[in-house]
Each structure stands twice: as structure tokens, then as C-alpha cells.
């Protein structure tokens, strides 16, 4: 979740110029009721529920993008429509946002990844109008997976199809994973186990480092592993399912 410090700007201007400002990690007060969205291709629409924890009204803008964190609703240009796109939320109230796929061509053999954005702009206070207070605009983003029909197997099978191997890197030793599945796989934890010792992967610096996309490879540095592991080495990892629940897995590591 991101925030921008702004003052003396009307709400419409705030909404349309979000990408021009830097961001900092803060806590938004409008909560999205899920950590991810799955959009089956055959669905007419999917809904996302928002809840306001604010003590005052806020203005909300909702839109989707294709991964560019600095995109704005007028520049996103993706095949989804959010309804309503702009609305007011009263304190303690809930709001349903409907997402509809416009039917533009997307890959049919694998998932496509998009991001759902919620920008929260508080009402101006008298102090802000006088120029002696900052107004904070908060943005939250969660993943949306567009899932085509007739994929060859269920999403629950994807983590078990990952192929892991040990590789050397500039920092020493690393794990490389190949994802042959048509699904995105998101990781919550990755450890290599060898000779009774656990070697955790290097902490991620971005959300992209926690996920491997369909048909792609991802590398995870192992800063505590200084020499190549033995043939008995295994990788234990946790993934997040469609509901954000953690699922544990274990498998051998190829040399």
C-alpha cells in the first residue's frame, strides 16, 4: 500500500496525477476484502468488496493496470472496466466494485496478470484549505489473475510441477525454479535443507521476486549456503493459493 503527500490540490487532480508523485509505505484506511482476485474467463463479472475504517468520508477511485505502478486510470489501457470507477465512501461503510472483462484478446493457454488499484483521497479539512496541513492520498494494489478456460489441470497442481535446481551465482549459491505450468505461482517462503541445516532464500525487495510466471524461471539467492549442496538436498517452500492461504510443499533439488 502506498501514499502520497499532497496539498492544495482538488480531488479530481489528485486522482489523475497520482503517478507524478513519489510513494512511501503507510497504512490505508479503506480495506480490500481479499489479497488477490481470480477472474475466470467465462465470468460475466467479479466483485471486490471494500470497507472503510475511516472516521470521515473519503473519495475512492478504482482501476486496473498491467503492472506499471505509475500508471493512471486514463493511461492504463487494459481490457477491464471497474464500476463504479469513482465514488464516495462514508465512515464504516462497505462498497462493492464490479470488474468486467471487455473481451479483448488475451492468451488462451496461460493466465494473464493485472493489478487492481484503490486510490483513497480524504476530504479536505479547514486547515488543509488554509495551507497548513498535508492531505495524504493512499493507494492499495492487489493482483488480478485472468484465468482462461480449459487449462490442462487445476491451479492446485501448479506448485508440484515446479522444477528446482541448484545454481552458482555471483553471491555464491542460489536456487533456480522453472515454472512449466500455465499458472502464476506466488511464494511466501523458500528454504533449502541440506545436512540438517536450513538455508533461507534472500529476502525479496519487490513483489515480482515472490512470484514465478508461466513458462519463466526465477532465481533465489541463498546467502548462508557457501558451497554446493549434496545430492540429498531438498527445497521446502510455501505458496499462496487463490484465497491467500499458505500451502507447504517439499521436493528434491536437481544438481
Grid cell, residue 160, equals: 508440484
Q: What is the dihedral of CA 225, 226, 230, 231, to 10 degrees?
A: 70
pLDDT of residue 21: 36
Q: What is the pLDDT along the chain (255 residues), one digit of tens a residue?
A: 444 333 333 434 444 444 333 333 345 689 999 999 999 999 999 999 999 998 889 999 999 999 888 888 887 789 999 999 999 999 999 999 999 999 999 999 999 999 999 999 987 655 555 555 556 788 899 999 999 999 999 999 999 999 999 999 888 899 999 999 999 999 999 999 998 999 999 998 888 899 999 999 999 999 999 899 988 999 999 999 999 999 999 999 998
Q: What is this structure's pTM?
A: 0.84
Sign, CA torsion 121/126/131/132: negative
Q: What is the pLDDT of residue 127?
A: 53
Residue from 137, 134, 151, 129 nearest 72 by CA = 137
Q: What is residue 254's DSSP assignment? A: B
pLDDT at 104: 92
> How many Cβ atoms sit within 10 Å of the Cβ of residue 42?
10
pLDDT at 82: 96
The pLDDT value given to residue 22: 35
Half-sphere exposure for 146 (CA within 13 Å, toward CB)? 25
pLDDT (0 to 100) of residue 207: 83
Cis peptide before 84 (omega within 30 of 0): yes
Q: What is the pLDDT of residue 16?
A: 43
Amino acid at each position: 500500500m502506498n501514499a502520497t503527500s499532497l496539498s492544495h490540490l482538488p480531488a479530481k487532480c489528485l486522482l489523475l496525477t497520482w503517478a507524478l508523485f513519489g510513494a512511501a509505505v503507510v497504512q490505508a484506511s479503506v480495506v480490500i476484502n481479499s489479497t488477490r482476485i481470480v477472474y475466470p474467463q467465462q465470468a460475466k463479472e467479479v466483485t471486490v468488496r471494500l470497507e472503510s475504517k475511516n472516521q470521515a468520508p473519503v473519495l475512492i477511485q478504482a482501476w486496473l493496470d498491467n503492472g506499471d505502478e505509475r500508471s493512471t486510470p486514463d493511461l492504463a489501457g487494459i481490457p477491464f472496466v471497474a464500476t463504479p470507477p469513482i465514488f464516495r465512501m462514508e465512515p464504516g461503510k462497505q462498497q462493492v466494485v464490479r470488474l468486467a472483462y471487455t473481451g479483448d484478446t488475451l492468451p488462451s493457454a496461460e493466465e494473464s496478470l493485472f493489478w487492481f488499484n484503490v486510490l483513497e483521497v480524504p476530504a479536505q479539512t479547514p486547515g488543509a484549505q488554509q495551507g497548513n496541513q498535508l492531505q495524504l492520498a493512499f493507494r492499495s494494489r492487489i493482483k488480478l489473475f485472468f484465468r482462461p478456460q480449459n487449462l490442462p489441470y487445476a491451479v492446485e497442481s501448479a506448485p508440484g510441477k515446479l522444477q528446482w535446481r541448484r545454481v552458482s551465482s555471483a553471491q555464491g549459491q542460489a536456487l533456480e525454479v522453472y515454472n512449466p505450468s500455465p499458472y502464476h505461482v506466488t511464494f511466501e517462503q523458500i528454504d533449502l535443507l541440506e545436512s540438517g541445516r536450513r538455508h533461507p532464500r534472500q529476502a525479496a525487495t519487490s513483489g515480482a521476486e515472490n512470484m514465478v510466471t508461466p513458462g519463466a524461471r526465477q532465481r533465489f539467492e541463498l546467502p548462508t549456503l557457501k558451497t554446493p549442496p549434496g545430492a540429498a538436498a531438498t527445497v521446502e517452500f510455501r505458496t499462496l493459493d487463490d484465497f491467500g492461504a499458505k500451502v507447504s510443499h517439499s521436493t528434491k533439488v536437481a544438481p
